[in-house]
């Protein structure tokens, strides 16, 4: 039986890396992002042709509970099941608490936390029925520790670990595991875009920005690779990982060891 996965926020960065990793293991994948189906078509087609799996695309907006539930239900209808759910979609905004726009707070909590609740709620009944499921929530080192000026992001990412633990307990006897992966900095387009601007603003080289600014908290001074996160997700989906549930697994180059 083929395993069917949904990865939210998978047209870019970590989510796209996860889609490659799971498809590389022969899983059918439903991709998701804000792009229109036409815009996402090259990404969908590449995954399908590279790995010979079925790749679908949903443009469900992770701020809309009904669209999230419909994405899960449509996937179940189209391919028969949702066995793996990776709640990965996320956004960031950086500002001191007094200046943090309420709308940004709402959007970050909505996309980074509430969407995981709605997708999980929609996927659990089918997983329970089949007696097998894997839910992976994309946390962050910020699920475990804080940084200034990231109130909404840190609150959402800490919230994800709470959701993970609770659903893990509720599904512990149903063959379902629920875990949070907590990466440190990953060089996605989102992070890459900040390097030249920071170098210019601070009058330092791009190498210095990476080492002394971005990777300041990351003892290895190396970015986490999307392939490394993909490999951990693949392991969590295996039967060897059946006893790992309710965990928050750091992959952060030693950040949270400090």
Binding site for ligand NAD (CB under 6 A): 9-15, 32-34, 61-63, 88-91, 111-112, 138, 140, 183, 185-186, 188-191
Task: Give the position of tokens 């189209």.
Answer: 78
Q: Between residues 132 and 209, which has the closer beta carbon with respect to ligand NAD?
A: 209
Residue 34 or 70 with smaller CB distance to ligand NAD: 34
The catalytic position among 57, 118, 153, 185 is 153
**Which letter, b or e, does each residue of 112-141 get, where b requires 16 or more Cβ atoms within 10 Å of its Cβ?**
bbbbbbbbbebbbebbbebebbbbbbbbbb
Tell me the chain's radius of gyration from C-alpha atoms. 18
**C-beta of 118 vs 132, nearer to ligand NAD:** 118
Smallest separation, CB 199 to ligand NAD (Å): 18
Shortest distance, position 128 Cβ to ligand NAD, whole Å: 26
Report the DSSP beta bridge partners of residue 251.
183
Which helix or strand (DSSP H or E) is residue 52 part of?
Answer: none
Report the candidate in 48, 175, 198 with the shortest Cα–Cα distance to residue 124: 175
Compute the least distance from the CB of residue 195 to ligand NAD, in Å.
12
- In three-state secondary structure terms, 29 is strand
Query: Does 185 participate in catalysis according to the annotation?
Result: no
DSSP string, 60-115: --TT-HHHHHHHHHHHHHHHS---EEEE---------GGG--HHHHHHHHIIIIIH
Select 81 or 226, whichever has its Cβ closest to ligand NAD. Answer: 226
Q: How far is the CB of 113 from ligand NAD (least distance, A)?
A: 10
Residues identified as active-site: 153
């Amino acid at each position: 039986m083929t395993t069917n996965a949904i990865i939210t926020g998978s047209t870019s960065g970590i989510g796209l890396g996860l889609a490659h990793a799971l498809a590389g293991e022969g899983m059918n994948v439903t991709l998701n992002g804000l792009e229109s189906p036409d815009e996402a078509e090259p990404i969908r087609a590449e995954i399908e042709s590279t790995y010979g799996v079925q790749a679908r695309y949903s443009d469900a907006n992770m701020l809309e509970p009904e669209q999230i539930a419909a994405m899960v239900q449509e996937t179940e209808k189209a391919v028969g099941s949702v066995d793996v759910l990776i709640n990965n979609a996320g956004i960031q905004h950086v500002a001191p608490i007094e200046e943090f726009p309420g709308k940004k707070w709402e959007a970050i909590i909505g996309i980074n936390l509430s969407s995981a609740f709605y997708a999980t709620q929609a996927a659990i009944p089918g997983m329970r029925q089949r007696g097998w499921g894997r839910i992976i929530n994309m946390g962050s080192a910020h699920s475990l520790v804080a940084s200034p000026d990231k109130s909404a992001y840190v609150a959402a990412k800490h919230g994800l670990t709470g959701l993970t633990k609770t659903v893990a307990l509720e599904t512990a006897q149903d063959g379902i595991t629920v875990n949070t992966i907590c990466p440190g900095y990953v060089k996605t387009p989102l992070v890459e875009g900040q390097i030249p601007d920071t170098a210019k603003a601070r009058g330092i080289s791009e190498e210095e920005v990476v080492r002394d600014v971005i990777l300041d908290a990351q003892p290895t001074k190396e970015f986490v690779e999307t392939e490394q996160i993909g490999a951990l997700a693949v392991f969590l989906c295996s039967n060897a990982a059946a006893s790992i549930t309710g965990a928050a697994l750091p992959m952060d180059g030693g950040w949270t060891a400090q």
